């Protein structure tokens, strides 16, 4: 067993840390105040190769492994959640889902430009009336000749107004015995006629990010854009969540670290009752808990990443990592606000932003209540991973960094 990061991993970590600290940190507090994503963020991430980092070179990516994806997510959310959300949505929900389920033609047409950052992708799954109860989504697609006609509305979609393509899951069969069996997933060009979209304002957190809605009104989508087979939409979507949740877990770990560093720094400077507040045991207890949570969350996501590298199904581990890290990140950020006292209540310090941002991840990509049910089902042997038709490819260094070779 080796708990050390490779030299390559450490260099990736430092590179992304440098980008986020140098180019985003100086303006993030103001951007969060103003709202919306700074226009330079996504083009710059594309330029640095971050948007296709964990995709094989033959599909336009950088050929880095899943551990690197986790480390990058951690570094990005250390600065701001909005940065990591780009990774979760573009890399996790879109690119990796295409890598797992896409045909060679779909990979060529969609994955290559997405990996290169020439196009941006998002995952359109949640609806105004269905989030955790995903099997009961209402949006539909009906076969019409060689096309499908999509209708319905998707909501709380990160990058909704920024993306060019969306991975969209809708109902194609109303008559199945189990609701989840009637779903199918499509790759949809968001410039298609009949699509309207907009941003959602007034969010508690991730204000420097893009969250919106997408409406489909008789949108014609070619049948060759079906991702997976008809009726496989639930499995495709759950696979997407296995990828997305991994980055959410790793990102939340970065947020714990950010809260921890802000707290140790402030506690070492702030005087009260004739001493530094870092000398007081009640403050120390809060900091100790953050440090412990950081270690635990990190180990959980790295294990999930390691399993992904091996090509081993990791729904259980990824769900556990997401649940633990996001709960712990909110706890850490809230305690960081408490340690900062009245200053923590103002946006003079970043910890109030951390706390607002942390809350969202307890809700999206499967609420933490859903994660706890998943864990209970595994523990009670009510749930076992069944083999699916297309598994997420394992990481093979040589294949991923070279052109030829079927993945």
Partner 1 sequence: MITKPGSQVQEKYNQLSNYKEGNSVKIIVCVKQVPDTAATMTVDNGAISWGDAPLIINPWDEFAVEAALNLVADQGGEIIALCLGKEGETEAIKHALAMGADSAVMVSDPALEGADNVAASKVLAAAIQKIGEADLVLFGQQSVDTDTGLLPVQTARLLKWPSLTLVSKFESVNPGDGKIQVLRSMEEAGQIVDSSLPAVVSVTKDYGEPRYPSFMGIRKASKAEYPVWSLADLGIETPSSSIAWPEVTEPVQKEIVTEIIEGETPEEKAKSLVEKLIAEKVL
Binding site for partner 1 (CB under 8 A): 6-8, 11-12, 14-15, 18-19, 48-49, 53, 62-64, 401
Q: How far apart are CA 305 and CA 192, in angstroms?
A: 36
Q: How far apart are CA 47 and CA 388, in angstroms?
A: 35
Q: How far apart are CA 238 and CA 229, in angstroms?
A: 15
Active site positions, annotated = 365
DSSP for 224-277, written as a single string: GGEESSTT-HHHHHHHHHHHHHHHHHHHHHHHHHHHHHHHHHHHTT-EETTEEG
Smaller CB separation from partner 1, 8 or 224: 8
Smaller CB separation from partner 1, 36 or 49: 49
Smaller CB separation from partner 1, 9 or 322: 9
Mapping DSSP onto H, E and C, the string for 118-182 reads: CCCEEEECCECCECCCHHHCCCEEEEECCEEEEEEEEEEEECCCCCCEEEEEEECCCCCCCHHHH
Smaller CB separation from partner 1, 9 or 340: 9
Could you report how far apart the first and last alpha carbons of the chain are, in Å?
27
Closest distance to partner 1 from the beta carbon of 172 (Å): 38
Q: Which of 28, 121, 30 is nearest to 83 (CA)?
A: 28
Closest distance to partner 1 from the beta carbon of 283 (Å): 19
Closest distance to partner 1 from the beta carbon of 18 (Å): 6
Closest distance to partner 1 from the beta carbon of 48 (Å): 6
């Amino acid at each position: 067993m080796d708990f050390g990061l490779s030299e390559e991993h450490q260099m990736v970590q430092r590179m992304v840390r440098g980008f986020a600290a140098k180019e985003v940190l100086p303006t993030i507090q103001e951007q969060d105040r103003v709202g919306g994503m700074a226009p330079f963020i996504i083009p710059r991430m594309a330029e640095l190769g971050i948007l296709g980092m964990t995709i094989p070179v033959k599909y336009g990516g950088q050929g880095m492994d899943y551990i690197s994806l986790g480390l990058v997510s951690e570094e990005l959310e250390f600065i701001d959640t909005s940065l990591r959300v780009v990774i979760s949505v573009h890399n996790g929900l879109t690119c990796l889902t295409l890598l797992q389920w896409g045909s060679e033609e779909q990979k060529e047409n969609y994955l290559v430009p997405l990996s290169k950052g020439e196009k941006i992708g998002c995952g359109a799954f949640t609806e105004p009336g269905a989030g955790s109860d995903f099997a009961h989504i209402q949006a539909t697609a009906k076969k019409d000749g060689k096309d499908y006609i999509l209708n319905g509305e998707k909501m709380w979609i990160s990058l909704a107004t920024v993306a060019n393509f969306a991975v969209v899951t809708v109902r194609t069969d109303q008559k199945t015995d189990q609701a989840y069996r009637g779903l199918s997933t499509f790759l949809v060009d968001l410039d298609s006629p009949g699509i309207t979209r907009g941003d959602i304002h007034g969010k508690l957190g991730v204000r420097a990010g893009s969250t919106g809605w997408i409406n489909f009104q008789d949108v014609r989508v070619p049948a060759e854009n079906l991702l997976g087979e008809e009726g496989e939409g639930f499995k495709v979507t759950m696979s997407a969540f296995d990828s997305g949740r991994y980055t959410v877990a790793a990102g939340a770990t970065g947020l714990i670290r950010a809260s921890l560093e802000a707290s140790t720094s402030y506690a070492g400077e702030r005087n009260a009752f004739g001493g530094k507040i870092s000398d007081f045991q009640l403050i120390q207890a809060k900091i100790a808990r953050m440090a412990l949570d950081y270690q635990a969350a990190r180990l959980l996501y790295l294990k999930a990443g390691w399993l992904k590298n091996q090509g081993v199904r990791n729904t259980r581990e990824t769900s556990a990592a997401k649940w633990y890290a996001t709960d712990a990140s909110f706890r850490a950020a809230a305690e960081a606000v408490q340690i900062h006292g009245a200053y923590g209540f103002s946006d003079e310090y970043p910890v109030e932003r951390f706390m607002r941002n942390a809350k969202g991840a307890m809700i999206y990509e499967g609420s933490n209540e859903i994660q706890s049910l998943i864990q209970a089902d595994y523990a009670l042997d009510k749930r076992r991973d069944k083999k699916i038709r297309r598994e997420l490819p394992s990481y093979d260094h040589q294949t991923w960094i070279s052109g030829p070779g079927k993945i």
